[in-house]
Amino acid sequence: MGFRSKRKVIPAKTPGELDAMQAAGEIVGEALQAVRAAAGVGVSTLELDAIAEQTIRDRGAIPTFKGYGGFPGSICASVNDVIVHGIPNKETILKEGDLVSIDCGATLDGWVGDSAWTFGIGTIADDVRALNEATEWVLYEGMKAMVPGNRLTDVSHALEMATRAAEKKFNVHLGIVDGYGGHGIGHEMHEEPYLANEGKGGRGPMIQEGSVLAIEPMLTLGSVDSIVLADEWTVVTDDNSWSSHWEHTVAATNDGPRILTPRK
């Protein structure tokens, strides 16, 4: 994927629409927290999927991922060298030291929330902890560029510069996964524009008050290249290095970036 949008501006949502998106996003946050609370040694990713789906449906929302393009789960559960789009299954049993990324979406009243976080099971290796802390930090540093008047690739550039700064801050080598990134979001989970996680700033459509992007750095301890497995969903690093993925749905406002997928 790459920069393809021909729009001059990223479409804006009204304050009421942003509130509606946050209502969906708060449900995503609840589902992520429920999954993390249940995750532990001996638990399957299929069990985690059931917990997320129940949480979402109990709040009157619909799991956005389930059935999306034929995807069978309510979450993407990506463990260790799986970067994104891991299919929940009963065979993947969590063990001590695993690094687990959970990506989740919920649709409420026609609006979508999309968020991901990554966490360890028990005690994780020092380099894995550094990777994960760095990826989270990169997300929050990168979203600072999500302000009216900036352009799309100003966010991309901020993410790239944050990644390089994180290498020094957390004393870890980081690979920026090539070909995957963030996106516009609203009534649909994936809307224009595509947001790369690196690149030169000052290009692409203008960010205006009310513009919304899903911002999601994906970093590895090794290669920037990936492979899609035979299930046509699961994306793994091509060198088996471990990866981390953090994501928030973020709106640009005159008061600064507004996270629409808060975790209370």
Domains of the chain with CATH codes: 15-259 (3.90.230.10)
List pLDDT tens digits, range 164-219: 999 999 999 999 999 999 999 999 999 999 999 999 999 999 999 999 999 999 99
What is the four-CA torsion angle of 227, 232, 233, 237, rounded to 10 degrees? -10
183 annotated ligand-binding residue: yes
Average pLDDT of the residues of the chain: 97
| pLDDT higher than 90, residue 231 | yes
Residue 175 forms beta bridges with which residues?
220
Give the per-residue pLDDT at 6.
61
pLDDT for position 251: 99
Residue percentage of the chain with pLDDT more than 90: 97
103: annotated binding-site residue? yes
Q: Is residue 192 annotated as involved in ligand binding?
A: no
Over the stretch 108-166, which tens digit does the pLDDT of each residue have? 999 999 999 999 999 999 999 999 999 999 999 999 999 999 999 999 999 999 999 99
The verdict on whether residue 216 carries a ligand-binding annotation is yes
d(CA 84, CA 65): 13
User: Is 247 annotated in some ligand binding site?
Assistant: yes
The candidate with the shortest Cα–Cα distance to 115, out of 260, 264, 235, is 260
Average of per-residue pLDDT across 15-34: 99
pLDDT score of 236: 99
Q: Report the C-alpha gap between 184 and 39 in whole angstroms.
A: 30
CB atoms within 10 A of CB 90: 10
- Pair 112, 186: CB distance under 8 Å: yes
- Provide the pLDDT for residue 264: 79
In 3D space, the residue among 83, 84, 82, 64 whose CA is nearest the CA of residue 74 turns out to be: 64
> Has residue 10 got a pLDDT over 50?
yes
pLDDT of 3 over the 90 cut: no
What is the torsional sign of CA 6, 8, 14, 15?
Answer: positive
C-alpha 96/C-alpha 121 separation (Å) is 5
pLDDT at position 1: 30
Residue 239 has pLDDT above 60, yes or no: yes
Across the range 233-249, mean pLDDT stands at: 99
Q: pLDDT at position 257, please?
A: 99
- Is residue 163 within 8 Å of residue 174, measured between CB atoms? yes
